[in-house]
Chain A
Amino acid sequence: MTYDVIVVGAGPAGSSAALMAARAGLSVVLLERGPYPGSKNVYGGVVYGRVLDDVLPGWWEEVPVQRWVTRRSTMVLTGTQALTVDFRSGAWGQAPYNGCTTLRSDFDGWLAGKAVEAGAQLVTSTVATGLIREAGRVVGVRTDRPDGDLRATVVIAADGVNSLLAKELGLLPKTDPKHLTLGVKEVLSLPKDVIDERFGVRGEEGVDVEILGCTRGIAGGGFVYTNRDTLSVGVVVSVDGLAKSEVRPEQLVADLKAHPAIAPWVQGAEVKEYSAHLIPEGGYDHLPQLHAPGFLLTGDAAGLCLAAGIWLEGVNFAIGSGLAAGRAAAAHVLGGAELSSYRKDLESSFVLQDHKRLRKAPALVLSDRVQQRYPQLIADLVEGLFTVTNPTAKPGAISLLRGAAKRNGVKLRHLAADGLAGGRTFR
C-alpha cells in the first residue's frame, strides 16, 4: 500500500500535519499507538489556540474546553513564604480567547477528528516499529500489525519526545538528560463551585499558576491549573537534577500540595490521576535536524517545546510545527518542492522565531542562582519591605536588597549580570 503521507503519532503535531496534508488533497494515514488519540499523552494543562485561527476558524466554539484562562499568576515560593504576581483579563474570557485548560484525551481526539474529516485515515492501536528505507530515502514505515508495511512519499514523525523513528535515522542525538525535564502531575477532584470559590473565578473562567522555588532547589518549577471540576497540580524538573538529588518526583508534588500557599486550594481534593512525561527543553541551540530525504520531524520529537521562564508552551508549538510539516509534505508531493522548505517555513513562523529569540532562556531560567538563590532572595526582600519595624524606622529598599542578597549568597554584581542577561534574553 502506498500513500502520499504517513503521519506517525496522533498528538497535536501529528493531527495538525495530517490535517494540512489531507486538506491539500493528499492520501494520508495517521498512525496512533494508543487505542484512541490522547490516550497516552500527558501535559501540564493549557492550550493557546491562536495558532488555529486560520486553520479552524471559530475553533473556540467547538474545542473541548475545561476552562478559559482569565487569570495568570506567577508565584515565588520558599518554605514558608509566597509572592504572587497575579493578572486577570476579562478579554481572555471572551472570544477569541487566549488560552484554555483542556484534557489531552479530549483535545487530541477533537483535533484528530478534524484530520479525519479532512480525509486522513486514522488507524489506532498500531505501533510504527521502524522505517523502510531505499537508496538513502525513507519510503515508509513498518508497523506491529500483520502485513504491516506501509509506504509513502513522505513520513512525518510526530512520535513524541523520545522519537524512535528519528533515532533510527540518526537525527536525534543520544539522549542528554541536561536537555530534558520531567513533568509530574496529579489531577485532583474538587466540586466546580469549590474551585470557583477558592480561585475567585466564575462560569468557565480558569486560572493558570506558574511557580518558581517549589522543587527543593532542583532546576524546574511547579504549576496549578484549574479544570472544570479538577485541578492539575504538578512540577517540571530537570532530569539531571532530579537524578542527582535522589528525590522522588512524587515527593516534590506532595511538597507543593502541602505548601501553606497551595494547601488551601487542594484541601479535601481526591487524586484522580497521576502521570509523568519527559519534556524536551533544550531550546533552539539543541534542535535536531528537522528533515531527511522523505522524512520530517515535528512536535516534541523535534524538540519544539518552548520553556522560557514565564512562557511555558508546548501544544501550540506542536500544532504550529505540525501544520508546517503538513504544508511541506504537500508542497513536496504536489509540486516537487524540497522538504528543506519545512525548516524555512518554521524559521519564518513563531515556532522558530520564538525559540531563536529565547534561545538563552533555558540556561538562564534553569541556572543555579535563579533556581536556588533568587526565590528566597525575592521573598526575603518583599518580607522586609512589608514588615513594619516600628519603633525602628523603615529600612531603605537598597539596604534590604543588600541584606537579602548577602543572606542568600548572591553578590550584587551577579544580580546585575543576571538582570542584564534576563533583559537581553527577554527583550
Chain B
Amino acid sequence: MGGLVVALLRCTDLRAEVDPLSGAITREPRTAALSASDAAALEHALRIGSAWGARVLAISLGGPEVEGPLREALALGAEVLRVATHQSYLEELVADEQALARALVTALAGELPDLVLCADRSADRGTGALPAFVAHELGVAQAPGLVSLELASLDGGETELLAERRLDYGRRERMRVPLPAVCSVEGAGVRLRRASLPASLAASGATIPVVDAALVPSAVRVVQARPARPRPRHLPAPTGTSRERLLALTGALLSHEPPVVVGPVDAPEAADALLEFLVHHGYLSRAPSGWAVT
C-alpha cells in the first residue's frame, strides 16, 4: 500500500516534581520520555507501517529534551522530526492547541498521512484537544480513545483498519476507521518493542531533523502560576462518644442527596444548573456584581 503513518508523540517528564511546599512544578529535561499511551501509539504506527509497507514518521513538539525519545523511535526504524517550540512553562499553560496542530501539519510539508496515531492522554494532560485539531487541519476523520487497533484483510489483498473503544459499563465499541484518520490510543494492549543494540548505537549519534514551529503567541498571557489550594472549609469539631464522632466525621448512616439527572439541556441551561449546584453546596454565592467564590 505504501504511504505514510505518522506517530504524533508527546515527550514530557513523567516524573515531574511538585514542590510540596510551594506547589511549583519542576520538569527535568533528561527524564522526558514517552508515556504508556505514546509508546502504544508508536508501536501501533510501527506495526501498521510495516503491514502497509509505509514510511513511519515520529514527530514531537518541544525542545531538545524530546530528542531522547525520538532517538528511540529512530532506532526502531521510524523517521523522526522535532518541531521546535520555544515556550516557557507559563506560555504552555495557555498554548493555543489549534496553532500547535497547524504547526504540526505544516511540518508535514503538504504530505497527507494515511494515518496519524497519537496518545489518548499524556502524563501532564497535555494531549488535550490536539488530536482533534490535527484531524481538523488535515480534514480527516478522528477516532479517539481506542484500546485496540488492528488491520483486517479484505478480498483482493486490501486491508481495513478496525478499532475498539471503551464505553461505559464495561462495554466496547468496534469501529471501522475510514482512512485517512487521526487515531488516539490508550496505553493498553501493546508494548513498545525494544530496539536492537546496533540500531540504538547508530541512533545515539544521529542528527535529529528540526523544523521551527513558528507559533503565534497566545492571546492570553499568564502572569503567575500558583499551586492549587482549595479554600479550606471550617467545620466544627464533632462531639459525643467516639462512635458518634466517627460517624459524624465519616458521614456514615446519614442520608445523602441522591444524584440528580439534569437534561438533556442546552449549554446555557447546563451552565445554570451547574451554578445552582455550586450555590446550593456553598461554593458560590450571588454577589451584586455577579458570582463570588465563597
Cβ–Cβ contact A147 & B196, under 8 A:
yes
Q: List 29 A-B contacts (CB under 8 A).
A: A1-B197, A1-B198, A1-B201, A35-B31, A35-B33, A36-B30, A36-B31, A39-B31, A105-B28, A121-B204, A121-B205, A122-B204, A123-B197, A123-B200, A123-B201, A123-B204, A126-B197, A126-B200, A145-B194, A145-B197, A146-B195, A146-B196, A147-B196, A147-B198, A150-B197, A189-B19, A190-B21, A191-B22, A272-B17
- The answer to the question of A282 belonging to the interface, with a C-beta cut-off of 8 Å to chain B, is no
Q: Which residue of A lies closest to B195 (CB)?
A: A145
Question: A36-B31, A105-B30, A122-B204 are contacts. A143–B197 as well, Cβ < 8 Å?
Answer: yes
- Which residues of the other chain, B, contact A145 by a CB distance below 8 angstroms? 194-197, 200
- The answer to the question of B110 belonging to the interface, with a C-beta cut-off of 8 Å to chain A, is no
Contact residues of A between 24 and 45, Cβ < 8 Å to B: 29, 35-36, 39
Contact residues of A between 106 and 147, Cβ < 8 Å to B: 109, 121-123, 126, 143, 145-147
Cβ–Cβ contact B21 & A29, under 8 A:
no
- Which residues of the other chain, A, contact B68 by a CB distance below 8 angstroms? 36
B197 to chain A, nearest CB (A): 4
Report which of A109, A126, A189 forms a contact with B21, defined as CB distance below 8 A: A189
- The answer to the question of B157 belonging to the interface, with a C-beta cut-off of 8 Å to chain A, is no
Cβ–Cβ contact A191 & B21, under 8 A:
yes
- The answer to the question of A148 belonging to the interface, with a C-beta cut-off of 8 Å to chain B, is yes
Q: How far is the CA of A272 from the CA of B21 in the complex (A)?
A: 11
- The answer to the question of B268 belonging to the interface, with a C-beta cut-off of 8 Å to chain A, is no
Cβ–Cβ contact B194 & A146, under 8 A:
yes
- Which residues of the other chain, B, contact A109 by a CB distance below 8 angstroms? 30
Chain B contact residues (Cβ within 8 angstroms of A): what range? 10 to 19
- The answer to the question of B156 belonging to the interface, with a C-beta cut-off of 8 Å to chain A, is no
- Which residues of the other chain, A, contact B30 by a CB distance below 8 angstroms? 36, 105, 109
B173 to chain A, nearest CB (A): 36
Contact residues of A between 307 and 347, Cβ < 8 Å to B: none
Interface residues, chain A, with chain B CB atoms under 8 Å away: 1, 29, 35-36, 39, 105, 109, 121-123, 126, 143, 145-150, 189-191, 270, 272
Q: Which residue of A lies closest to B200 (CB)?
A: A123
Q: How far is the CA of A143 from the CA of B22 in the complex (A)?
A: 43
Q: How far is the CA of A1 from the CA of B204 in the complex (A)?
A: 15
Cβ–Cβ contact A270 & B20, under 8 A:
yes
- Which residues of the other chain, B, contact A39 by a CB distance below 8 angstroms? 31
The 3 closest A-B pairs by CB, nearest first: A270-B20, A147-B196, A145-B197
- Which residues of the other chain, B, contact A126 by a CB distance below 8 angstroms? 197, 200
Q: How far is the CA of A263 from the CA of B21 in the complex (A)?
A: 19
B183 to chain A, nearest CB (A): 27
B70 to chain A, nearest CB (A): 14
Q: How far is the CA of A296 from the CA of B221 in the complex (A)?
A: 57
Q: How far is the CA of A18 from the CA of B237 in the complex (A)?
A: 63
Contact residues of B between 196 and 223, Cβ < 8 Å to A: 196-198, 200-201, 204-205
Question: A35-B31, A35-B33, A109-B30 are contacts. A148–B19 as well, Cβ < 8 Å?
Answer: no
Q: How far is the CA of A149 from the CA of B201 in the complex (A)?
A: 12
Q: How far is the CA of A195 from the CA of B165 in the complex (A)?
A: 52
B46 to chain A, nearest CB (A): 14
Q: Which residue of B lies closest to A35 (CB)?
A: B33
Cβ–Cβ contact B21 & A121, under 8 A:
no
B72 to chain A, nearest CB (A): 8
Cβ–Cβ contact A29 & B20, under 8 A:
no
Contacts beyond the supplied A1-B198, A35-B33, A36-B68: 8 A-B pairs with Cβ under 8 Å? A1-B201, A145-B196, A146-B194, A146-B196, A146-B197, A147-B198, A148-B197, A189-B21
Interface bits B2-18 vs A (CB < 8 Å: 1, else 0): 00000000000000010
- Which residues of the other chain, A, contact B19 by a CB distance below 8 angstroms? 189
Cβ–Cβ contact A189 & B197, under 8 A:
no
A117 to chain B, nearest CB (A): 12
Q: How far is the CA of A1 from the CA of B205 in the complex (A)?
A: 15
Contact residues of B between 211 and 268, Cβ < 8 Å to A: none
Q: How far is the CA of A123 from the CA of B204 in the complex (A)?
A: 7
Q: How far is the CA of A82 from the CA of B194 in the complex (A)?
A: 54
Q: How far is the CA of A150 from the CA of B20 in the complex (A)?
A: 44
B192 to chain A, nearest CB (A): 11
B244 to chain A, nearest CB (A): 34
B267 to chain A, nearest CB (A): 42
Q: How far is the CA of A146 from the CA of B204 in the complex (A)?
A: 16
Cβ–Cβ contact B201 & A29, under 8 A:
yes
- Which residues of the other chain, B, contact A146 by a CB distance below 8 angstroms? 194-197
Q: How far is the CA of A189 from the CA of B201 in the complex (A)?
A: 39
Cβ–Cβ contact B200 & A189, under 8 A:
no
Q: Which residue of B lies closest to A194 (CB)?
A: B21
Q: How far is the CA of A149 from the CA of B198 in the complex (A)?
A: 9
B28, B68, B196, B201, most chain A CB atoms within 10 A:
B201
A220 to chain B, nearest CB (A): 29
- Which residues of the other chain, B, contact A36 by a CB distance below 8 angstroms? 30-31, 68
- Which residues of the other chain, A, contact B201 by a CB distance below 8 angstroms? 1, 29, 121, 123
Q: How far is the CA of A29 from the CA of B200 in the complex (A)?
A: 11
Q: Which residue of A lies closest to B33 (CB)?
A: A35
Q: How far is the CA of A289 from the CA of B50 in the complex (A)?
A: 50
- Which residues of the other chain, A, contact B20 by a CB distance below 8 angstroms? 189, 270, 272
Q: How far is the CA of A57 from the CA of B187 in the complex (A)?
A: 47
B99 to chain A, nearest CB (A): 31
- Which residues of the other chain, B, contact A35 by a CB distance below 8 angstroms? 31, 33
Q: Which residue of A lies closest to B204 (CB)?
A: A121
Interface bits B64-84 vs A (CB < 8 Å: 1, else 0): 000010000000000000000
Q: How far is the CA of A36 from the CA of B69 in the complex (A)?
A: 12
Cβ–Cβ contact A270 & B21, under 8 A:
yes
A122, A123, A150, most chain B CB atoms within 10 A:
A123
- Which residues of the other chain, B, contact A189 by a CB distance below 8 angstroms? 19-21
Q: Which residue of B lies closest to A273 (CB)?
A: B17
- Which residues of the other chain, A, contact B194 by a CB distance below 8 angstroms? 145-146
- Which residues of the other chain, A, contact B196 by a CB distance below 8 angstroms? 145-148
Q: How far is the CA of A149 from the CA of B195 in the complex (A)?
A: 13
- Which residues of the other chain, B, contact A272 by a CB distance below 8 angstroms? 17, 20
B14 to chain A, nearest CB (A): 10
Q: How far is the CA of A145 from the CA of B201 in the complex (A)?
A: 11
